[in-house]
Amino acid sequence: MSERGAVVLLSGGLDSATCAAWARGQGYRLHCLSVAYGQRHERELLSAQRVAESLGAVEHLMINVPLDSFGHSALTAAIAVPKDRDPGQIGADIPATYVPARNSVLLSLALAFAESRGLFEIAIGVNRLDCSGYPDCRPEFVSAFERLANLATAAAAQGQGSYRILAPLMDLDKAGIVRLALSCGLDLGLTWSCYDPQGAGAAARPCGRCDSCILRAKGFAAAGVSDPLIAAG
């Protein structure tokens, strides 16, 4: 078991929370990073805080990076969030909820955080199966960013260590992610997936119709367990 620390990108969603729980299970001390980037579903940040606390993170930073200044996404601008799409259609193209270069930005921030703390592992909850077709969730992207991290940092250039991008969910579907989360003891009722919440703050409820809600529901159904977030409502 590792006794090292790892930076974990924690949005508060099912995938990132499961990734954090997995990292804890691997023996990593969790240094969680959450980013308020102007997302319309900022309710997820409350979940990020709750998940970090529940997993005993030694550090949880929440920083503001206003990607909504650029717009061009249904998550950061006045563009309709796709609703009621057939599950088979999700992932067939790049949807309006794609945020330009989001994971490149988030991993760059995580890299800066890691280097400042003398850490060399960064965990991110991307997966290429039951996702929304985002190009920055592919293994090729993760591998390329890992190479960049080892070229662009003083710590790597000076031989202090080699950076690794950990993506434990990459080859899991949503059912597999739900099962992994449960095996790691994660309280799934703390997580948030909806892109277009109804209401605000702790009182917000999932719309049940956006791609993220549909994929979440599909995963819980396939795993044969009920979603505590829905049951609580």
Distances (CA, A) of 223 to 38, 113, 179, 199: 32, 35, 7, 28
Residue 146 has pLDDT above 60, yes or no: yes
Q: What percent of the chain has pLDDT over 70?
A: 97
Q: Residues 154, 155, 161, 166: is their CA dihedral positive or negative?
A: negative
What is the per-residue pLDDT for 1?
A: 43
pLDDT of residue 2: 47
Q: Which domains does the chain have, with CATH numbers?
A: 5-231 (3.40.50.620)
Tens-place pLDDT, residues 102-144: 999 999 999 999 999 999 999 999 998 866 789 999 999 999 9
Helix (H) and strand (E) counts for the chain?
8, 5
Give residue 45's pLDDT band: very low, low, confident or very high (50, 70, 90).
very high
- Residue 231 pLDDT exceeds 80: no
Question: Which of helix, strand or coil describes residue 180?
Answer: helix
pLDDT of residue 232: 62
Tell me the pLDDT of the chain averaged across its residues. 95
133 vs 185 pLDDT, higher one: 185
Identify residue 112 by its one-letter amino acid code.
Answer: A
